Chains A and B, each alone.
Chain A
Amino acid sequence: DVKVTQSSRYLVKRTGEKVFLECVQDMDHENMFWYRQDPGLGLRLIYFSYDVKMKEKGDIPEGYSVSREKKERFSLILESASTNQTSMYLCASSLLRPPYEQYFGPGTRLTVT
């Protein structure tokens, strides 16, 4: 079974703090993704990576950065957290060949106060 794990299920941070969300997958997938999920807005892609040290912006990259130093690990960084970044963050991974089905982690619910 594919397993994608995220470092925290729940996180509470203060405005201005630097926040690290980590994701690890154990299936040797090339692609990794970070989404945020908000009521009424569905899933929105923040960043993705198709290889170590490679990254591409998704639909809403502003206020976020990412790091992929190892194939199995993909980190999302909020340089200076703001209240509008309170959300559910979902990590996913997939192979680099069709049909590109994505496998998701359990999510991190981040609250910024």
Chain B
Amino acid sequence: GDSVTQMEGPVTLSEEAFLTINCTYTATGYPSLFWYVQYPGEGLQLLLKATKADDKGSNKGFEATYRKETTSFHLEKGSVQVSDSAVYFCALSKPGNNNDMRFGAGTRLTVKP
């Protein structure tokens, strides 16, 4: 079945470091891909999305490019801040399957001053 695999955490970085969180997917057809962020004690917030191959989603300095050839959607940020400390989830959905969003296990990021 369709699934998402993301790198295990936790990830600890110093402020202003470069961030990459890897995400790969397994799906037939043409899924849409998402990154969600969850701050402590909160629900998930949509961070960015991409709906077709080679699309780049971006928001708040975060970027991810939908790579069909490598079935990947890695999250990157050039310079992280302490306020980026959160859990990040990669997810996919597919046309005709509106109830089934598949989430990765989440990657906890801690940014130290």
Cα distance A33–B102 in the bound complex, in angstroms: 13
B103 proximity list for chain A (CB < 8 A): 42-43
Q: Is A106 a contact of B105 with CB atoms below 8 Å?
A: no
Q: How far is the CB of B48 from chain A (nearest CB, A)?
A: 10
Contacts A42-B106, A50-B98, A56-B99 given; does A104 touch B32 at CB 8 Å: no
Chain A: interface residue count, which band?
20 to 34
Q: Is A100 a contact of B101 with CB atoms below 8 Å?
A: yes
Interface-centre pick from B42, B101, B104, B106 (highest chain A CB count, 10 A): B101
Cα distance A43–B95 in the bound complex, in angstroms: 21
Contacts A50-B99, A56-B99 given; does A103 touch B46 at CB 8 Å: yes
Q: Is A107 a contact of B93 with CB atoms below 8 Å?
A: no
Question: Mostly helix, strand, loop or mixed at chain A's interface?
Answer: strand
Contacts A90-B43, A107-B43 given; does A101 touch B99 at CB 8 Å: no
Q: How far is the CB of A56 from chain B (nearest CB, A)?
A: 6
Contacts A42-B105, A50-B98, A94-B98 given; does A101 touch B34 at CB 8 Å: yes
Contacts A42-B105, A98-B51 given; does A104 touch B93 at CB 8 Å: no
Cα distance A100–B32 in the bound complex, in angstroms: 8
Quick check: is B82 within 8 A (CB to CB) of the other chain? no
What are 24 A-B contacts with C-beta separation under 8 Å?
A4-B43, A31-B98, A31-B99, A33-B99, A42-B104, A42-B105, A48-B99, A50-B99, A56-B99, A94-B98, A94-B101, A96-B98, A98-B93, A98-B95, A99-B34, A99-B51, A100-B32, A100-B101, A101-B32, A101-B93, A102-B101, A103-B46, A105-B43, A109-B41
- List chain B positions with a Cβ less than 8 A from chain A: 32, 34, 36, 41-46, 49, 51, 89, 93, 95, 98-99, 101, 103-106
- List chain A positions with a Cβ less than 8 A from chain B: 4, 31, 33, 42-43, 48, 50, 56, 90, 92, 94, 96-107, 109
